[in-house]
Amino acid sequence: MTKKIILDCDPGHDDALALTMAVASPKIDVLAVTTSAGNQTPDKTLNNAMRMLTLLHREDIPVAQGNQTPLVEPLETAPEVHGETGLDGADLPDPDFKVQPIPAIELIAKTLRKSDEKVTLVVTGPMTNAALFLRVYPDLAKEKIDQIVFMGGAMGLGNWRPSVEFNIFVDPEAAKIVMNFGLPLVMAPLNVTHKAQIMKDEIEQIGQIDNPVAQAFSGLLNFFEQYHENPKWGFKGAPLHDPCTIAWLIDPTMFGTDKMNVDVETQGDLTRGETVCDYYQLTSKPQNTEVLLDIDREKFIQLIMDTLQSFSQK
């Protein structure tokens, strides 16, 4: 059965790949794309989503821009990871369609009302738009959102602060709203995404695929991989964080998961933005989140290769 999704993203190299996988999969129907500030400034992430959809010839998918800033703190971006444009490494086409003249939360609401079945909200950036939507349209969310699948958080080691992952760090107040709203949650934390690495030789294989989409990702992933060559990470390749959300929707059998309560620390001087995961059920809080903890990396990479190969037949 085809899963209807709304993708809320902040492209970003790995967001771009997640979007591509979603668009290419016969198991997923992308109803709308909304953008948030995060990996880069809000205008750049919006432009990147539109450039990607132009590359993918999916200008029919409506796109709306979300909030310009996080709910509380000033915006912090990640140009050292994603470059000045947010998608450095490839010469992408300029958008040839227009953004929707409504805010992201209004496009989400409009899309849900039009859908005759429940929709999965996939969030691959900070949770600002998701939190605002849940606050403004709580009844519509409960009626029409099937689940929220998101990339973010970590059990233990962070990638932006010692115990804090970037997406949650940018807007922890928003993440806390989402975690405590009561909808089913699926979380792809660093614990699984750091196992979802693509190696240099696999990026070279992508470069051998003869279509414009694969060629774009050859450049994008080469750029993305360079940041992760820093020995401090201990990586052999580049972790593909956001595609784990779409891979889960396409084939959940490639993941090992566990249910637990997840909440977000918003006060701590050292831990603001930390996802507090009750792995051992030490509290009486409900197990509100299915957390992805393990991945069949070979199966995951094959899915990516098949996705990029599929554009040779289009």
pLDDT over threshold 70, residue 314 = no
What is the mean predicted confidence (pLDDT) over 188-210? 98
- Looking at the chain, the whole-number percentage of residues with pLDDT higher than 70 is 100
DSSP lists the bridge partners of residue 9 as: 35
| 63 beta partners | 33
pLDDT of 81 over the 90 cut: no
Residue 257: pLDDT band (50, 70, 90) is: very high
Please give the pLDDT value at position 287.
Answer: 98
Predicted confidence band at 159 (pLDDT cuts at 50, 70, 90)?
Answer: very high
Q: Is 82 a catalytic residue?
A: no
- Taking the CA atoms of 78, 83, 89 and 95 in sequence, report the sign of the dihedral they define: positive
305 to 2, 10, 178, 200: CA distances (angstroms): 21, 23, 33, 14
Q: 262: which strand partners?
A: 277
pLDDT score of 234 more than 90: no
Q: CA–CA distance from 118 to each of 5, 6, 112, 175, 204 (Å)?
A: 9, 11, 8, 22, 39
Of 47-51, 224-228, 282-286, 305-309, the range with the lowest mean pLDDT is 224-228
Average pLDDT of the residues of the chain? 97
The C-alpha torsion from 270 through 80 and 198 to 214, rounded to 10°, is 140
Query: Which CATH topology does 3-313 take?
Result: Inosine-uridine Nucleoside N-ribohydrolase; Chain A (3.90.245)
- Residues of the chain with pLDDT > 90, as a percent, come to 93
Catalytic position from the list 13, 194, 228, 241:
241
- Quick one: pLDDT at residue 253? 98
Residue 218 near residue 165 (C-beta atoms within 8 A): no
* pLDDT for res 313: 77
| Confidence at 116, pLDDT banded by 50, 70, 90 | very high
Overall average pLDDT of the 265-293 stretch: 97
Q: Is pLDDT of 66 > 70?
A: yes
Q: What local confidence, expressed as pLDDT, does residue 231 receive?
A: 85
Query: Residue 271 is encoded by which pair of tokens?
Result: 């831990």
Question: What is the residue extent of each domain of the chain?
Answer: 3-313
pTM of the model: 0.97
Nearest by Cα to 40 from 7, 5, 84, 71: 84
Q: Is the pLDDT of residue 1 over 90?
A: no
pLDDT score recorded for residue 73: 94
Backbone φ, ψ for residue 103 (5° rounding): -65, 160
Over residues 52-75, the mean pLDDT reads: 97
